Amino acid sequence: MTEIEMPDVRGRLTRNRDLSSLTWLRVGGPADWFFQPADEADLSDFLAALDPEMPVFPMGVGSNLIVRDGGIEGVVIRLGRGFNGVEIKGDLVHAGAAALDAQVAKRAAEGGRDLTFLRTIPGSIGGALRMNAGCYGSYVADHFVSARAVLRDGTIVTLGPDDVSFAYRNTDLPEGAVITQVSLRAEAGDPEALLARMDEQLAKRDATQPTKDRTAGSTFRNPAGFSSTGRADDSHELKAWKVIDDAGMRGATLGGAQMSEMHSNFLINAGGASAADLEGLGELVRKRVFETSGLTLEWEIKRVGRPTPTGPAKTGS
């Protein structure tokens, strides 16, 4: 792209930063520019001074993301220290956007507030807001009070429930907006009971999901548009893993990518996978599921960036 003079910053601004080490799947090309702001004011000043034609992509901890092999055009913004604090005031939990979901749940529980549904969700609270993350029948939308954000023009705003259109695994946030803090309302609970519940959730997750593999969480949304509730009477008839199994795609491979044998809605980097392998396998799964069930699976993993000119590897076993 045409060389553009970049604004002065107090944080770190890096040219051609490789992103593969920052995604849980360990794939992806470089960002044209990679910005880690020192604080909210630094972020605001940067965006206000940045050429308005320059694309901006806010990136969390890369837990639900495939960065394509050609990398990302424009500026990738990633919040770090200074954006990960967690504070509890009454029934409100205020969390910096870079705070991990698990850490928010633990800090809340220690303070006698119930956000236990966040404990097993990978990623940061900013990403949880963007995806309306949920588990065990609870979603971010159920607890959302407000969020601070820096808009593409550098304006700092507070967004309330009326400003955020929540949907299943999605929100309609302003284009280019960077969430800096999220405030959630949480019911009271006994700290020991809340921590014990989270330990049980972790044990169940580790027994049923490939948590030791390189994954990005659930690959596809459930066809019916509902998350697992975790209840004993939970129906699996239209769960993504079930229709993937029915299509014969559990364990399917493409290059270094594989649909997990342990849980078939988890796409894993089994070793040396490219982003093209992973996305290509996902598209193959979608094709086979449509052929066998007539259902069109929708990606839950976000896929961004420029593809490489070469196609994905050949199908394996």
Indicate which residues carry an active-site annotation: 169, 218, 300
> What tokens does 274 get?
């490219």
- In sequence order, the β-bridge partners of residue 231 are none
75-101 per-residue burial string, b: 16 or more CB within 10 A, e: under 16:
bbbbbeebbbebebeeeebbbbbbbbb
The tokens of 121 are what?
């969700």
Distance set, CA 133 to CA 57, 79, 119 (Å): 19, 19, 11
Provide the 8-state DSSP code for 46. Answer: H
Q: What is the phi/psi pair of residue 191, to 5°?
A: -55, -45
Question: What does each C-alpha distance from 220 to 125, 264, 275, 286 come to in angstroms?
Answer: 20, 10, 16, 9
List strands edge to edge, sheet with 56-59: 12-18, 30-36, 72-78, 56-59
